Amino acid sequence: KPGDQLPSVRQLAAMLTVNANTVMKAYSELEREEVIETIRGKGAFIAMAPSKVVTERQLTELRRALKTSCIAMRYMGMSKEQVVEEISKIYEELSKEEQ
What are the pLDDT tens digits along the chain (99 aa)?
888 999 999 999 999 899 999 999 999 989 988 889 999 899 999 988 655 667 787 888 889 999 999 999 999 999 999 999 999 999 898 888 877
CA atoms of 8 and 52, how far apart (whole Å): 25
**Statement: the pTM of the whole predicted model exceeds 0.85:** no
In this structure, the chain runs to a length of 99
Domains and CATH numbers, the chain: 9-52 (1.10.10.10), 56-98 (no CATH)
CA atoms of 31 and 24, how far apart (whole Å): 10
CA atoms of 95 and 42, how far apart (whole Å): 39
Query: 43-46 and 36-39: which strand pairing?
Result: antiparallel
